[in-house]
Structure 1
Amino acid sequence: MKNIIKEIQDALAVLSIPEKAEFFPRFFKTGKGEYGEGDLFLGVKVPDQRSVAKEYYSKINLKDLSSLIASEYHEHRLTAIFILVSKFEKTKDLEEKEQVVQFYLNHLPYINNWDIVDSSCYKILGRYAFENQKEHLLRELSESEEMWHKRIAVVGTMHYIKKGSFDFTKEFVTRNLKHPHDLMHKANGWLLREMGNKNEGALISYLNLYYKEMPRTCLRYAIEKLDEDLRQDYLKGRI
C-alpha cells in the first residue's frame, strides 16, 4: 500500500507549481471561518491531476485509495476522486459499482470542497441512483445539515437532467432555496440553468413559481442563458 500511495504522491509532487501553491489557498477560501478553512495545497493543476489518476486508477485498490483520499492535501483528495470516478465508469460489474458508491459515501468527510464535489457526485452517486432507482441516497444528503452533502445532492441530479428528468433537481433546489451560503445559491442556480438548457419551458415554469424568493446569485445563474429581455423581466420582477 505504502509504495503505490507514495508513487502517486511523488508523481503529484513533481508536478507542483509554487505559484499555484501560493494562489490556491486564496482561491479556495482556506482562511479562518471560510469554507475551505485549513486546506493545504501542493500547487498541481487539474489536468495534471487527471493524468496521474489515469495512470494509476487500475493499479490501486479501494482499500489503499482510502489513505489517499484522507490526505490533508487537496490535490491528493481530488486525484483520489478522479481515480474513483474512473473505477466507476470503467467497470460494468454492478457489485464493483456498488463498492465504489459505498466507498464514496463512507468518505464523505473528505469530499469537502466544491471542486471535489462537482467532479464526482453526478458521475458516481447521481448516475448510480438514476440507474438503480436509489434516489433516497441523494434525498438523504439533501436533508443533511452539512452544506457539502446538500451540494452533492443537488449537483448529483445533473445525471437526471441529462436524461431529461427534472423532478429531483426541483425538489432539492426548493428544499435548500434559502440556504445561507452562496455556494448553495450557485449550485442551485447552475442546476436550474442546466435544466433550462435541456427544457427551457421547465425552467420558466419553475422560475415563475419561485424566482421572487431566490437569492440573487441563484437567480442570475439560473437565467444566464435566457433571452435578454426575459432575463431583465426576471431581474426587475416584472413577471
Structure 2
Amino acid sequence: MPDEPTADEFVARFLTLVPEEHRELAESNALVRRGEDDDIRAGARMGKIFALAKEFALLPPAEIERLLESPLHDIRVGAVSVMGHQYPRKRTTEERRTELYDLYLRRTDRINTWDLVDVSGHKVVGNHLLARPRDVLYELAKSDHFYERRLAMFATVMFVGRGDLDDTYRLAEILVDDPEHFVNTVVGTLLRETGKHDRPRLVAFLDRHAATMPRITLRFAIEHMDAAQRKDLMGRAKQAKTAG
C-alpha cells in the first residue's frame, strides 16, 4: 500500500467485496451523488470492509472526505473506519489527528446513522478530547440531529474506560429524556458502563430518573445490576407510566 493511497484505489478494492448481484449498482454510485437515494446498501460484509479500511489506514483526510461523499453506506462505513484506524496510530502526527477530528465534526452530515457514529466516533472525537476541553460535546448534545446527540454521548466511551465519568453523567442529564430511540440506547449503554467503575453513582442517577426516563434507556442501564435492583427500578417506571 503506498504512503498516500487514494479514494479511487479504495473504491476499486471495495468493489471486489460487493456481491455480484449488486456490483453494477455499486459501480455506478460509488463516488457519484445523484440526489436520489443517498444511503444505498451494496451488501459488502462489514468484516471485510473493516479489514480493507485497516489496509488503507494512511488515506489522507481529503481522500477520506471523498469517500464520505459516497451515497453507498458501505463506503462511508469504510471512511469512518479508516479514521478510526488512523487516529490512534503511534506514527500519526498531532497535526493529522487534528485534521481527522476537524473532518469528523465538519462532516457529521455524512456520518448520519447510528452505526456510522459507532464505528469510530469514540476513537476520533473521544480520543481527541481526552486531554482537551469538551465543550463541543455539550453543543452536539443540543443538536437538532439525533446522530450528533448520539455522538456526544458515544464519544465518552474513551473517558469512561479510564474511570472519568463526569462528562458522561452531565451529558446524560441533558439527554435522559431524548425522544430518539438511538439516543436512548446509547445513554443507557454508557450509564451501564459507568456502573462498572462507580455503582453507587449510577444507582443515585437512576433513583432520580427511573420513573420518567425512556424504558429502553433504563433497561440498558440496569443490565448488570442484580435482579432485585432491576425489579425495583423497572417497577418505578411501570408505576409512573400507570399513574400517567
Q: Which residue matches 1:139?
A: 138
Look up the SS of the partner of 2:164 in the other structure. Answer: coil
Question: Structure 1: any 5+ residue segments left out of the alignment?
Answer: 22-36
% identical aligned pairs = 25
CA contact (8 A) 1:20 1:44 kept: no
Cα drift, residue 38 of structure 1: 5.0
- Write the distance in 1 (CA, Å) between the matches of 2:61 and 2:96: 10
**Structure 1 pair 20–142 and aligned structure 2 pair: CA distance change class (3 A):** farther
Write the letter of the residue equivalent to 1:48. Answer: K
2 CA distance for matches of 1:97 and 1:38?
28
Aligned to 1:232: 231
1:18, 1:165 → 2: CA distance? 47
- Corresponding residue of 1:198: 197
Q: Which residue of 2 aligns with 1:12?
A: 14
- Of 221-230 and 169-178, deviating more is 169-178
Q: Is the 8 A contact 1:129 1:138 kept in 2?
A: no
Which one-letter code corresponds to 1:107 in the other structure?
R
* Greater share of helix: 1
Q: CA deviation at 1:5?
A: 2.2
Report the equivalent of 2:28.
none
Alignment of 1:110-125 (within 5 A): 110-125=110-125
Distance 1:181 1:100, change over 3 A: same
Q: 1:176 Cα shift?
A: 1.6
- Output the CA distance in 1 between the equivalents of 2:56 and 2:164: 34
Whether contact under 8 Å (1:189, 1:217) holds in the other structure is yes
Q: Moved runs in structure 1, 4+ residues, more than 4 A?
A: 18-21
Partner of residue 39, structure 2: 39
Instruction: Please state whether the residue corresponding to 1:89 is helix, strand or coil.
Output: coil
Q: What is the count of residue pairs matched by the alignment? A: 220
SS of residue paired to 1:118: helix
Q: Give unmatched runs, 5+ long, in structure 2.
A: 24-36, 240-244
